[in-house]
Amino acid sequence: MAASVANCCFSVLNASVKIQSSSISSPWCFVSASSLTPRASSNIKRKSSRSDSPSPILNPENYPGRVRDESSNPPQKMAFKAFGSPKKEKKESLSDFSRDQQTDPAKIHDASFLNAVVKVYCTHTAPDYSLPWQKQRQFTSTGSAFMIGDGKLLTNAHCVEHDTQVKVKRRGDDRKYVAKVLVRGVDCDIALLSVESEDFWKGAEPLRLGHLPRLQDSVTVVGYPLGGDTISVTKGVVSRIEVTSYAHGSSDLLGIQIDAAINPGNSGGPAFNDQGECIGVAFQVYRSEETENIGYVIPTTVVSHFLTDYERNGKYTGYPCLGVLLQKLENPALRECLKVPTNEGVLVRRVEPTSDASKVLKEGDVIVSFDDLHVGCEGTVPFRSSERIAFRYLISQKFAGDIAEIGIIRAGEHKKVQVVLRPRVHLVPYHIDGGQPSYIIVAGLVFTPLSEPLIEEECEDTIGLKLLTKARYSVARFRGEQIVILSQVLANEVNIGYEDMNNQQVLKFNGIPIRNIHHLAHLIDMCKDKYLVFEFEDNYVAVLEREASNSASLCILKDYGIPSERSADLLEPYVDPIDDTQALDQGIGDSPVSNLEIGFDGLVWA
């Protein structure tokens, strides 16, 4: 990828590319506001040039929904031209963005639905991905939430990411109540909170969830953005409804574009129609020099999907995917070559090995229908009365484990196949389950799995082009596969000569291919050989004497103030993620394939 975006995605004209970066700010911005404190000091020197700045994953410049304290610097805004080329920084302030968007508060001052909107105060403590045995210095943020009944509040997942304490305050109340995060849906950027205090719920009336609005319907956004402590109301209309890039979850789901002002602190706040029904959750904005007043709301269809998923499973399982890379069939000669008689269908260009689709779909198949709905040659399907929407919208209406009936043309023959839809397996994850990254330290050599937060924290220049290419264009060959890297070397006599090694993928240990970080830890524990031999990319080799390494480990941990040689998850028994070793013999595909959804030059993940 030529350019990437810090924990955000962008979509322009006919191209939408999901990419992440530490070097370029995104036009996509969250809408919560934060107050940062300096990073905790460490006796281990970082390799990253950004070692003294907070993690971009929780950088408030990426979260317009979290409100910074007024003493903090204003967020930097970077714009992009069409197709992703960077432009000059825009100088207008957030107040300029909303100057003409304020509605008359007197008209809705007594509206009861305003009392269901609360202010969220969150203290965040994010993991330190470069030094995975510790956490970063905590910081605070504010956002919005609203009552949905049964003692529950709804807000954005990014408002309470890496939370250590969450408090909420009702309109007109001077007390803050402790809230608990019940579940987070990272891909749809929704979180569910509960408050145990009975006093908090006295006289409370939950909001009614409305239906998907129509274009030009009036919309009112309510929340607690920058500029004051009391509730704020802005008004606009629905500008567009389509599949939208969700910056926090790096996913594509249905979104509502509005022109009502959405500012830092609005994240998690509701958007209402004229009947006082909640039609969605404010969560991000798009800012560039060429655009203005583009805000986004998570529709109630996505909210209902999230709540139903949680109720069914007792946890959030996530949105499923088909697991195929698709190409549009707009060219008549291409359709004729594939023996597609009509102007329909999309070409299966690649099937993910970890998806159930790999059992029934092949490269070269043409998908012409999904649950008996015809798929157009541009990859769209009918939507409502006279609209069309991206084909992957149909997939997003399903739940993990659901079965979809796919109509295909294979070598000119029409067929129907059934596919079980499951969440995508990311080789390089966007978010770390459990909060803290895995690691193991062997004689000062620090090993950890590659993740997008680590890439963000280390900067692309430090990670290296080859590792970035694998992160962007490789797919998991089996469930549980990870790219394990040597993050850094903690200098000691036992590892002399290896001190400058960093951010290199380790491929084998004592000649055995490494499947994931837990597999590496298991191999090291089981090793009885005299030497520990680590083979890296580009034929680099590091050899350690086993007994000397074991003797030096405690000293190294003490010198660098590290509490344990490995993360807690690696203390659990190792379970082999695959039944055989055939998948390990497969190399990276010849064609570039990304963990991300790509919609560039006619290619679309579904």
Do the Cβ atoms of 424 and 321 come closer than 8 Å?
Answer: yes
Q: What is the 3-state secondary structure (H, E, C) of 123-149?
A: EECCECCCCCCCECCCEEEEEEEEEEE
Q: What are phi and psi of 277, to 5 degrees?
A: -90, 145
Do the Cβ atoms of 599 and 17 come closer than 8 Å?
Answer: yes
**Per-residue burial over 328-355, b = 16 or more CB atoms within 10 Å of its CB, e = otherwise:** bbeeeebbeebebeeebbbbbbbbbbbb
Considering the candidates 124, 158, 248, 518, report the single residue annotated as catalytic.
158
The residues pairing with 445 across neighbouring beta strands, listed in sequence order, are 442, 489
Do the Cβ atoms of 67 and 139 come closer than 8 Å?
Answer: no
Do the Cβ atoms of 355 and 395 come closer than 8 Å?
Answer: no
Q: How far is CA 164 from the centre of its chain?
A: 20
Helix, strand, or coil (residue 598)? strand
Do the Cβ atoms of 200 and 226 come closer than 8 Å?
Answer: no
- Altogether, the residues listed in the chain come to a count of 606
Q: How far is CA 54 from the centre of its chain?
A: 18
Identify which of 434, 437, 466 has the alpha carbon closest to the alpha carbon of residue 452: 437
Q: Which residues contact 39 (CB under 8 A, 6 or more apart)?
A: 51, 52, 53, 54, 136, 137
C-alpha span between 97 and 293 (Å, rounded): 7
The Cα angle at residue 364 between residues 363 and 367, in degrees rounded to 5: 100
- Residue 174 appears among annotated catalytic residues: no
Pull the structure tokens for residue 37: 């404190």
C-alpha span between 383 and 254 (Å, rounded): 12
C-alpha span between 38 and 53 (Å, rounded): 8
DSSP symbol at 67: P
Do the Cβ atoms of 412 and 345 come closer than 8 Å?
Answer: no
Do the Cβ atoms of 393 and 243 come closer than 8 Å?
Answer: yes
C-alpha span between 247 and 83 (Å, rounded): 17
Pull the structure tokens for residue 170: 């009702």
**Per-residue burial over 191-210, b = 16 or more CB atoms within 10 Å of its CB, e = otherwise:** bbbebeeeebeeeeebbebb
Considering the candidates 187, 189, 259, 356, report the single residue annotated as catalytic.
189
Q: Which residue do the tokens 């202010």 mark? A: 119
Burial of residue 599 (number of CB atoms within 10 Å: 0-12, 13-18, 19+): buried
- Residue 309 appears among annotated catalytic residues: no
What string of DSSP letters covers 479-521? TT---EEEEEE---GGGTT-TT--SEEEEEETTEEP-SHHHHH
What string of DSSP letters covers 318-336? ---B--EEEEE---HHHHH
Residue 544 falls in which region: left (phi positive, over 0), alpha (psi -120 to 50) or beta? beta
- Residue 158 appears among annotated catalytic residues: yes
Considering the candidates 26, 55, 232, 267, report the single residue annotated as catalytic.
267
Residues with catalytic function: 158, 189, 267
